[in-house]
Structure 1
């Protein structure tokens, strides 16, 4: 049986309606690492998670959820929402990570920053992008990645407007389809963005069908947290990024 404690602690801040980040983290968690979660608000669960709602989440006060999470003294704090900082921009994402790091004393990972870290670690410059977001957030995501030096040359979006529950309930067959539609012959990798989309479960199948790396928010966060703690044992079954963690060097 895999040990679930004793080596390190991941403290994860998760949007309060998110139903997939916690089970995803449990599946990918390295040997001896324990997981500790704190839920955060700043948006209306009954409204569509559009750019205004996610902008509000990104700007929400983290003092109380972070204070409670720090009760377990995590080694790494993970900010588990991608769109919350995509809607503010690259500089905001970096500043948020620094604020969390300064107030907590822990190493810090953000979901959007982890995507950039993973893509740069793999030497990726051109991607296909897929998400369950509204179009306006996808536009912001493309600009965010472009500012980080990563060009989006193909894009895949859901046909309908999904509420918070709908994003989390999107089935793996739909996620697989989104990923396949995001591919382009000139793309170095495909990105599946959103911590509440069931991307982790289809990473290996997508990579087999596309013949290239597939990066998703939750996988990228685990990867960067492992880099920061110098945990380099591969984690099998969740894409090339974690399969090859021992041979990848952090870019920053």
Structure 2
């Protein structure tokens, strides 16, 4: 049994995680604690507060009691907005509070791209322009080239959570770039897991999405490698991958 504890802000697309659990091995658990989102806004001040130590610490003990072996701050903007060093400090404090290996969705994107051998990406984000640019800067700090950036200007997670299949596919298509080896959709409030295979088929390249990479990173921290159908290239066996890095 492997248990990845998830600190998830508010309520928008957390139902992606039970869907992931069904697609993965039956001995993987993904217990969730919902942190207080505070002001629901993709603004720097609101995002800094959303990822503050006090808000994150609130769910640590509950997830420890649930048997979590690793801990994920299941939020992208609430981590990368602090910058490369600030995001590292955030996860260090979380690991210290939990006594467990910890990471965040921002680092999950960087590590997942590196694991696939991806050096150039396109970012297709729901966020406003300034927040999207901040994520691109975070990726560049990780040594990843950003070929294109698409910002949708959505201010609240609540609105993002209402997006369906057509909007997700259109976002990915609009954000793609010929030079990009993968397309990244960085918002855990966005429902994407049901569309991963269709997204990759439409774009002809790996697509990394926030809830997908969050679980992958938590399993990586637990030294657990899992292959699963329906979860995109990231979870495909190497011999089954139709895409190879350029």
TM-score, normalised on structure 1? Answer: 0.87
Which moves more between the two structures, 178-187 or 100-109? Answer: 100-109
Q: How does 1:89-100 map to 2 (within 5 A)?
A: 89-100=83-94
SS of residue paired to 1:145 = helix
8 A contact 1:42–1:60 mirrored in 2: no
**What does residue 28 of structure 1 align with?**
20
Check 1:27–1:161 CA distance in 2 against 1; reply closer, same or farther (3 A cut).
closer
8 A contact 2:57–2:94 mirrored in 1: no
Q: CA deviation at 1:100?
A: 1.6
Check 1:63–1:161 CA distance in 2 against 1; reply closer, same or farther (3 A cut).
closer
Q: CA deviation at 1:245?
A: 7.3
CA distance in 1, matches of 2:226, 2:137: 34
> How big is the alpha-carbon RMSD for the aligned residues of Structure 1 and Structure 2?
2.0
Q: Give yes or no for the alignment of 1:130 onto 2:111.
A: no
Q: CA deviation at 1:229?
A: 2.5
CA distance in 2, matches of 1:50, 1:166: 15
8 A contact 1:124–1:189 mirrored in 2: yes
**What does residue 156 of structure 2 align with?**
163
CA distance in 2, matches of 1:130, 1:69: 31
Check 1:75–1:246 CA distance in 2 against 1; reply closer, same or farther (3 A cut).
farther
CA distance in 1, matches of 2:223, 2:121: 27
Q: How many residues align?
A: 237
1:215-249 CA-to-partner distances (Å, cap 9, x unmatched) read: 1111111112222323333111121001137999x
**What does residue 112 of structure 1 align with?**
106
**What does residue 244 of structure 2 align with?**
none
Structure 1 stretches of 4+ with a deviation exceeding 6 A read 245-248
8 A contact 1:155–1:181 mirrored in 2: no
**What does residue 84 of structure 1 align with?**
78
1:39-94 CA-to-partner distances (Å, cap 9, x unmatched) read: 2125214xx33222112212241332212322223111111110001111111222
**What does residue 209 of structure 2 align with?**
216
Check 1:208–1:76 CA distance in 2 against 1; reply closer, same or farther (3 A cut).
same
Check 1:190–1:211 CA distance in 2 against 1; reply closer, same or farther (3 A cut).
same
8 A contact 1:129–1:155 mirrored in 2: yes
Flag structure 1 segments of 5+ consecutive residues without an equivalent: 1-6
Check 1:181–1:63 CA distance in 2 against 1; reply closer, same or farther (3 A cut).
same
